[in-house]
Structure 1
Amino acid sequence: MKYMSDQMLIEVYHRAIDLQLDAAFIELLSLELKHRNISITKASA
């Protein structure tokens, strides 16, 4: 994931949640966001 831009990572994270992808994959993305010190606020549906 080190080749993925911050913006792309954020987009993939939101898309994974929207598509209800595997929880382990979403957790992996979440850990990478934390590693990069990127804070994500959950949008209200």
Structure 2
Amino acid sequence: MKYLSDQMLIEVYQRAVDLQLDPAFIELLCAEMERRNLRITQVSA
């Protein structure tokens, strides 16, 4: 995770949610965003 930029992490998270990937993977991404104090300002529709 440390190799992903903040922007890339957010994009990967949004894509994972859109594709309904494994909830454990999505939770891992979410935890990393929280660790970095990142917030999603726009939710994909």
- TM-score, normalization: structure 2? 0.89
RMSD: 1.4
What are structure 1's unaligned runs of at least 5 residues? none
Sort the Cα spacing of 1:35 and 1:24 in 2 relative to 1 into closer, same or farther, 3 A.
Answer: same
- Identity score, percent: 71
What are structure 2's unaligned runs of at least 5 residues? none
CA contact (8 A) 2:9 2:33 kept: yes
One-letter amino acid matched to 2:33: L
Greater RCO (Cα-Cα under 8 Å, separation 6 or more): 2
One-letter amino acid matched to 1:14: Q
- TM-score, normalization: structure 1? 0.89
